[in-house]
Every structure is written in structure tokens, then in C-alpha cells.
Amino acid sequence: MKKLLFHILLLPFWGYAQDYQLWYNTPAEKWTEALPIGNGRVGAMVFGGVKKDRIQFNEETLWTGEPRNPNRQDAAKYLAEIRQLLAEGKQKAAEQLAEIHFMGLKTQEGKKEQWTADMLALKGLVGNPALMDFDDARWETMPVPSYEGWEAIGFEGLDGAVWFRTTVDVPANWQGKSIVLDLNRVRDYDLTYVNGQLIGTTNSLDPRKYRIPANLLKPGSNVIAIQVINFFDKGGIAGYKDTSRPIGLYPEDEPTALISLVKPWKYKIQDENPPATPKYQADYQPFGDLTLTLSDLGEISDYRRELRLSDALCKTSFRTNGTHFTRTYFVSEPQQVMVVRLEADRKASLSLTAALSSPHKGYLLRRLDKHTLALSVKVKNGALKGESYLTVQLQNGTLKCTDQGIEIEKADNVTFYLTAATNYVNYQDISANPVALCQQTMTKIGKKTYEEILTAHSKEYQSYYQTFSIDLGKSAAENLPTQQRLAQFGQTPDPALMALYVQYGRYLLISSSRPKTRPANLQGIWNDLLAPPWGSKYTTNINAEMNYWGAEVLNLSPLHEPLLEMIKELSVAGQETARTYYNARGWVVHHNTDIWRNTTPINASNHGIWVTGAAWLCQHLWEHYLFTQDREFLQKTAYPMMKEASAFFVDFLVKDPKTGWLISTPSNSPENGGLVAGPTMDHQIIRGLLKSCIAASEVLKTDDAWRKTLQTTYAQIAPNQIGKYGQLQEWLEDKDDTTNKHRHVSHLWGLHPGNEINWDETPEVTKAARQSLLYRGDEGTGWSLAWKINFWARFKDGEHAQKMVKMLLRPASGAGGSYANLFDAHPPFQIDGNFGGSAGIVEMLLQSHTKYIDLLPALPQDLPKGNIRGIKARGGFELDVSWKQGKLTYVKITSVAGNPCTLRYAGKVRELVIQKGQTIELKEF
């Protein structure tokens, strides 16, 4: 570096509006093709249909469950025995004991046995649907199988007892043969009849291959009747995941002669209100749907559906009957409403109806006044209720509002405003009045014009979005619809799609995590299912944290606040769990939590007893300080929680009798290998917590005695170990399986998001970590692929990191990838891959986890030129970086705190002294 230009500036606020868009030339058919909008509290998915447009919406606090104490008060009595069993190598016995005595308490179970007996006794039915001559003429039909549950084919929210009936023609030469009825999976409990005779029943997800007694079938028509009992989540006759394999009938000795039963079956809901199933934690819930149905539309042309990241506007446009129609959708943070604006370039062209509905049973609609409709919902098996108001303004035309919906005729333009609220206040208080909240929101709109609301929305959103820009070069693919770009990304260079993906990740965080809202959950704030995958909760063994990997580096520090606030609540709730389970001080979080801030072990003892969730979450407190250098935050907020979390581990860690090291037991290496003593990941995370606590106490010049305690404990924790295959050991013992391709690569936490494994300080351990990742392989679920981008970036291997980017940005299939709307595919949808992937791409361009700020540390050949503006680095720095032909050409760095700065590029190191508020430009190297 030959030349330095110095000049002093106040910290700038400058905008970098970039016109990145997701766009499509057809409406969305699936939810994962729809486009997300949100303001951190209210989220919606826009389908952009022409004659019928669905806008599915959520409110962040609508969950199942209620405030309760899930802690098992006598759990600590069994801790010593569980530890002893693990020490003796009796893993299964330890898991069995823990399953009975160490898991959190579930919610209360309903009267399941009585209800089931009633269903088997045909309560609620007239006649017996199992019989051949039963009259099912008035029954409707359902496609069978429903491979992903009947919820996926239009029966969302259906649980209970359902009867299915169909007929099948059997050839005469089957007479007297043993026939197999192959249904594969039925969710969950079935009683299956052929010609009125019970031939089999199963109450599990085990495959159903029932033998039909000889001579029960007759030549010609035969009746199959199945009673399906499903208590919660996916239900129905599921068939084979491999949809090319039909369910059906075949002679036992001639399976190729199968008669397929894949077709519409008649069905009858016997009872859709089964008793409550006990659950460990709550589920995030959808709220409702706004459906717009337009009339007087002819042949459609010039259709376009887009999401503009620069101003958080979703738009749909098309032409018909010589008229150009445009719809604009956004969710305003200043006004707390979702806005849908319909316009046409010919007057009196808008005639439509607007209706509200909800997947929640028993929802209520009512007319409030001549232009406002209200929707009331209540969750099943929970204490939360919600209210949504939809009001409309129009220019010219006529308006009619009834209890069923809003009818509009021949308007010039139409603007809908929708708000939603629940009775949730916090995890201990559900006393809010959602009706009053909706009234207040609508009153605040007052006489504001659409243009005023749009302007305020754009200004507020862009205050976050415009703090950062990224340009990785242009490509011809930018002119293609987004799903086509995704389909060819792995074969055709499209660096602009990577830049769009980074900004899309920022857009999603802005849209799902504004200050004073709840943090982004497993699906952000977007969910259309009453029983979403994994409850759409907060999985703290990586997924909740991954959501915020980009918050600081991508210049969105204020949006970290919802997670930091949740950590504060968990630090209170987790104290009782620490005491009742471990007789320990401080606080603990296991591998999942929900809106009620449950901190106990859940699901199953072989993976639910994992003790380092709080320690990992505390990393976010420390990272927020490192990036912002906010000493007041460190002193008043972060350090007290970090100190209490570290107190837990001082009490919890025990000396391993074989090695003398302090180890974490019982725990597990997330979701892999069962309940164990001394998993490597735990020790890395605990060391990370203690190290940051020690550093924080030094910054604050406090707690000398406690610092020494932590230093002593830190030195005794079991270290990283290199195993017999040259790998970093995942467990205390050298028992890694090099053929294991598990999606979690937990023992590499110290590489990323931790920093104790790096080429500068621990080259041999870093080499072993790389060997472990090579053994684990490249494939993985969506979020796992995102994590591996970050791993390979930390290894400074840009080409391998880019390979992982291509695997993440591929069309979703059975493996990880991305859906048409670029949502991350686990599959199913999890938003963590979006956040982890966008953070991983910038990790290739800048790193600051060691004493250096590394510039372009893992730049792949696919990105020969580019620039980033407003990227953040630890130590309180903000940088602009440019490069051409793979070489760094320009750096501008601003300091918010006046800390020393050490830059590194291509093996060259430059130490800078930058005063607080000063900016330095480096133009020649």
C-alpha cells in the first residue's frame, strides 16, 4: 500500500439505493412462489393473481399456548445418575432415564381415550360407513393420497376423525388369491375395511400392507372404507413420498399387477375437534387471508409481478380490455398497516369484492361501518385471540360493505388498509385488547392520503436499507424472471444474483425484525400453516442465531434489537430451569424456545438436552458490542447477562474422571449421536462465552475476582482434539464416522460463528476442521449449505465457498436449495438459510473475527470485480471496498470509536491509527 489519503468526516448517512428486484411473468400458485412483505410485526405473502388475488397475512404474536411453567421441579434429583450412566458408557439407559425425569413439562392432554372410543363407536354418524351398502352419494371427494398431509391439498386445520370410501374393480382371476392392500403411510391411526370386514388397523406411521383374506374380494366392484383418526399436524392417507409409487391392490405373488388407488376418494368428516394433544412448546400461527376477486376482466397480457428491494414495494401489473392495471402492496411501519393499492389507467375500471377469511375454526366476520370489515380469530388450544380490520378508500365508484365482505363497482382507484393485533403483551401477560389496538391504528391513519403513507413508508424503510450497497457486476441473466435465473445459476455466471441475494437477506431481516418487535422466527414472520414445520419456533442450536449473522456486518445493527430483547427475557425465564434441572446459578436455554420463552429440554432426550443455547445467544450480545462499541449497552445490558450465563457453566461443568478436564454433561452434539458427555461444540461455545466475559470485564474495569474464576475455569475445559483420521473430533472420544453426512457440523462452531479456530492462531486445528468438513461433505439442507459457505470463507477457500453458494442457489428439491421466491428450502421453508447465505457471501469479501480486518479473504474467480459500501467490521469500523480483475483497488474506512485498525490483504498488513469519527481512504496499493 503506497499512498494514504486522510480526511476527517462526521459519520455519514448516505443512501445506496439499488434497484434489485425479484420478478416473475406469472402469478404465484404455491405459497413458496408468493412474495413476502412485512414491517416486523405484520407480514404478508402476495400471490398476485389476476382475477383472484390472495394476500395471506400474519401477525407476529399469534401463537398457540399460553403463559405457564414448563419446568420439572424435581429434575435435578436425576442429574447425577444420568451423568454416571453416561460415564459408564450406558447411553441408552441415560436417555431412557432422562426421557422420563428430565424433559420439560408438556401442556395438558385432553380426554383422548374417551374421544377415541366415541369415534370408534361411530358417534356423530348416521349408519356405518364401513358397510358395503352405506349411502355415500352426498359425500364430497378428496385426492388420495395426500402426500404431505390433507392440509397441503386444501384442508388446512383439519384434525380429527375422517372416513374415506372408494370402489375398485377386481378381475375374476384374482378370486381365491391372497391380495395385498398397500397404503404405505396413514397419519396417524386407521381402521381399514374391505367389503365391510376389518382387514387391518395401525396406530403409528408404520407402513400399511394389509392382507385381504382369500375370497373376501369378488369379481367386479368392491368397497374399501378407511376410518382415519388424526389428533394433530398432518393427517390423511399419505401414500409414498416417491409419488411415482402408487398405493393400491395386488396379488401377493404378483406385485406388478397392482391396481392403483391413486384417485379422488369420497370423504366424510366425523369430528374435527379432537382433544388437545400435549405439547412441549407452542406453534406460530397464520392469521388470515385477504382475497380480492375482480370482475370484467378479459384476456390478460403483459403480466408482471415484482418485489422491489429498494423501496419494499410489491407490484403486480397487467393489461386487459385495453386497460393497464397496477396493484401495489406494502406494510407500513409508521402507520402499522398493510396497504393494497389498485389503479387503472382508464376511469371506472375497478370492480371487485374483498373478503377476509382465516384457517382458524370459528372465525367471525362483521361489518363495522360502511367501509370497514373486521375479522376475529382465536387459536385452538391456546389463550391468544386476534382482531383484524380492513378498511377501504376509493376514488369515485360505489361501495357496499356487509358482514361477508366489501363490494366495489366502477372505481378509478381503490386503497385497502389492513391492521391486525392480538391480546399478547409479553410472555407473562396476555391482557392486551386487540380491538382497541386496531381502532387506534385506524384512527391514526385519519385523513392521511395514500401518497403520504407511501412516502412515510419508503423513508422509514430506506433508513435501514440504504446504509449498505453491493455490486458484484452485471450479467445478461438480469433480464430473466427470477426463477429462470435460479434454474441456471449453477451453470451460467450471474454475479448480480448473488448481490441480489445479499440485499434480499437484508430486506427479509428489515421486514421481519424491526425494533420493538419480536425476533424473526424459523420462518421470519411468514407462515400459512396451523401446524408449521418445527412449530416455526426459535431453534437455538443454530437456526435462531443464524437469522442474525448478518445483522451487524450488513449495517442493520438496530434490527438486532428484537433478538437481544428476547435474550433478556430468556435470561429471566432460564434462571428457574438452571436451578430446577442443574442446581446451578445463572440461566440456561436448551435447543428450542417459543413466544412463551420456554427454556426446558423438549422433544426427546437424545437431542433435546443441549445446554449451550444461552451461551450461544450471549455471543450476539458481545458481537453487538464489538461492532457498535456501545459501552453503555455492554455495561447495562450485555455484561450482566453474560456474567450470569457464565455463572451457570462454572457450576455446571464437571471433571471428567478419565482426563481430568472440565466437561459438559449431559448434552449432545446437536441432533447427532445422542445424549453424551463432553461434546466438542459445547466446549467451544462455553470457552467463547467465558472469553468474551473476561474481555468485557476488562473493558468495564470490573469484577476482578470473577474474571480470575473464569480464567481458571477456561483453562481446564476439554480442548479441541485431532482424531485418528486427521479430523477435529466431534466428541470427547475419538469416535467420528467419516461416512457420516449429517447436516449439523457442530464441532466447527469454533471456526464459525466462533473464532478460536483460525489459520493465524491454530493452524493445525484449522486443518483438522477442514478435514472434518471434507468428510461431512457438501450436501445438506438449506441452512446447512449456508453454514458451509461461511465455513469455507473462514478457510479462505473462495472457490469452495462459491460452490456452496451455487448449491444454495439452486431450485428446491429433496435436498436444500431455494424456492422460486428465493426462500430457503430446508426443505420445507426455513428463513435461516436466507440470512446465513447472505452473511456467508459477504464473509467471502470481508472478515474481522481475528485481530485483522481481512479484505477479500475468499474471493472466487466468479467475482472478478465489484464494490461494497457500508459494510461493518468488529472494532467499530465501516468500510467501502472496491476491486477489479480480482485485485483490491480502493478502501475507505471510518471509525466510530477511534480503535486501532489492522488491515490485511493478500498477505500484506497495514496498521492504521484512526480517530473517532475519522475516515481514511486508501487509493493505491
pLDDT of residue 4: 36
Three-state secondary-structure class, residue 26:
coil
pLDDT of residue 815: 84
Res. 12 pLDDT band, cuts 50 70 90: very low
DSSP assignment string, 561-629: HHHHHHHHHHHHHHHHHHHHHH--SS----SEE-TT---S--S-HHHH----HHHHHHHHHHHHHHHH-
Q: Which residue has the cell 385432553?
A: 110
Res. 923 pLDDT band, cuts 50 70 90: confident
Res. 241 pLDDT band, cuts 50 70 90: confident
In what helix (H) or strand (E) does residue 783 lie, and over which residues does it extend? helix 782-794
CA-based diameter of the chain, in Å? 95
**21-65+283-465: CATH number:** 2.70.98.50
**What's the sign of the alpha-carbon dihedral 125, 130, 133, 136?**
positive
Q: What percent of the chain has pLDDT over 70?
A: 98
Amino acid making up residue 568: K
Strand partners, 411: 350
Residues of the chain with CATH 2.60.120.260: 112-271
pLDDT of residue 468: 98
pLDDT of 870 over the 90 cut: yes
Three-state secondary-structure class, residue 132:
coil
User: How many C-alpha atoms does 895 have within 13 Å on its Cβ side?
Assistant: 18
Three-state secondary-structure class, residue 151:
helix
* Measured distance CA(806)–CA(818) in Å, rounded: 10
Q: Residue 121 region, left (φ>0) first, then alpha (ψ -120 to 50), else beta?
A: alpha
Q: Which three cell numbers stand for residue 917?
A: 469519527
pLDDT of residue 761: 97
Instruction: Report yes or no: 686 and 717 within 8 Å, Cβ to Cβ.
Output: yes
Instruction: List, in sequence order, every beta strand (DSSP E) within 272-384.
Output: 288-294, 301-308, 313-320, 323-332, 337-344, 350-357, 364-369, 372-378
pLDDT of 7 over the 70 cut: no
Q: Tell me which fold the domain 112-271 belongs to.
A: Jelly Rolls (2.60.120)
User: How many C-alpha atoms does 114 have within 13 Å on its Cβ side?
Assistant: 5
Q: Which three cell numbers stand for residue 665?
A: 454433561
Q: What percent of the chain has pLDDT over 90?
A: 92
172 CB neighbour count, 10 Å cutoff: 8
pLDDT of 314 over the 80 cut: yes
pLDDT of 2 over the 70 cut: no
* Measured distance CA(506)–CA(528) in Å, rounded: 22
539 CB neighbour count, 10 Å cutoff: 24
Res. 1 pLDDT band, cuts 50 70 90: very low
- Is the bond preceding residue 753 a cis peptide, omega within 30 degrees? yes
In what helix (H) or strand (E) does residue 5 lie, and over which residues does it extend? strand 3-8
Three-state secondary-structure class, residue 510:
helix
pLDDT of residue 5: 38
- Which residues are CB-contacts of 743 (< 8 A; sequence separation ≥ 6)? 780, 781, 783, 784
pLDDT of 318 over the 80 cut: yes
- Which residues are CB-contacts of 436 (< 8 A; sequence separation ≥ 6)? none
Q: Which three cell numbers stand for residue 849?
A: 473475527
Instruction: Report yes or no: 438 and 376 within 8 Å, Cβ to Cβ.
Output: no
* Measured distance CA(466)–CA(577) in Å, rounded: 42
Assign 3-class secondary structure to 279-299.
Answer: CCCCCECCCEEEEEEECCCCC
Long-range contacts of 699-702 (CB under 8 A, 24+ apart): 699/631, 699/634, 700/631, 700/634, 700/635, 700/639, 702/639
460 secondary structure, DSSP code: H
pTM for the structure as a whole: 0.94
Instruction: Report yes or no: 315 and 329 within 8 Å, Cβ to Cβ.
Output: yes
CA dihedral 328, 419, 516, 31 (to 10 degrees): -60
Instruction: Report yes or no: 601 and 849 within 8 Å, Cβ to Cβ.
Output: no
pLDDT tens for each residue of 789-845: 999 999 999 999 999 999 999 999 878 999 999 999 999 999 999 999 999 999 999
Q: Which three cell numbers stand for residue 577?
A: 430451569
Residues of the chain with CATH 2.70.98.50: 21-65+283-465
* Measured distance CA(538)–CA(746) in Å, rounded: 18
* Measured distance CA(44)–CA(36) in Å, rounded: 6
pLDDT of 446 over the 90 cut: no
pLDDT tens for each residue of 329-358: 999 999 999 999 999 999 999 999 999 999
pLDDT tens for each residue of 537-551: 999 999 999 999 999
Q: What would the mean pLDDT of 3-26 be, rounded to a whole number?
A: 58
- Which residues are CB-contacts of 204 (< 8 A; sequence separation ≥ 6)? 188
Q: What would the mean pLDDT of 233-244 be, rounded to a whole number?
A: 91
Instruction: Report yes or no: 675 and 668 within 8 Å, Cβ to Cβ.
Output: yes
pLDDT tens for each residue of 447-484: 899 999 999 999 999 999 999 999 999 988 999 999 99
* Measured distance CA(499)–CA(822) in Å, rounded: 13
pLDDT of residue 447: 85
Strand partners, 544: none
Q: Which residue has the cell 480502493?
A: 890
Three-state secondary-structure class, residue 558:
helix
- Which residues are CB-contacts of 113 (< 8 A; sequence separation ≥ 6)? none
* Strand duo 21-24 + 248-251: pairing: unpaired
pLDDT of residue 925: 61
Helical segments of 845-897, H only: none
Q: Which three cell numbers stand for residue 225?
A: 372404507
Q: What would the mean pLDDT of 127-148 be, rounded to a whole number?
A: 95
Angle (nearest 5°) at CA 753 between 695 and 740: 135
Q: Which three cell numbers stand for residue 83?
A: 451423568
pLDDT of residue 15: 40
751 CB neighbour count, 10 Å cutoff: 26
Res. 215 pLDDT band, cuts 50 70 90: confident
pLDDT tens for each residue of 525-583: 999 999 999 999 999 999 999 999 999 999 999 999 999 999 999 999 999 999 999 99
Instruction: Report yes or no: 582 and 648 within 8 Å, Cβ to Cβ.
Output: yes
Instruction: Report yes or no: 503 and 509 within 8 Å, Cβ to Cβ.
Output: no
160 CB neighbour count, 10 Å cutoff: 19
End-to-end Cα spacing for the chain? 4
Helical segments of 513-560, H only: 543-546
- Exposed e or buried b for every residue in 485-519, given b needs 16+ CB within 10 A? bbeebeeebbbbbbbbbbbbbbbbbbbbbbeebbb
Q: Which residue has the cell 375370497?
A: 215
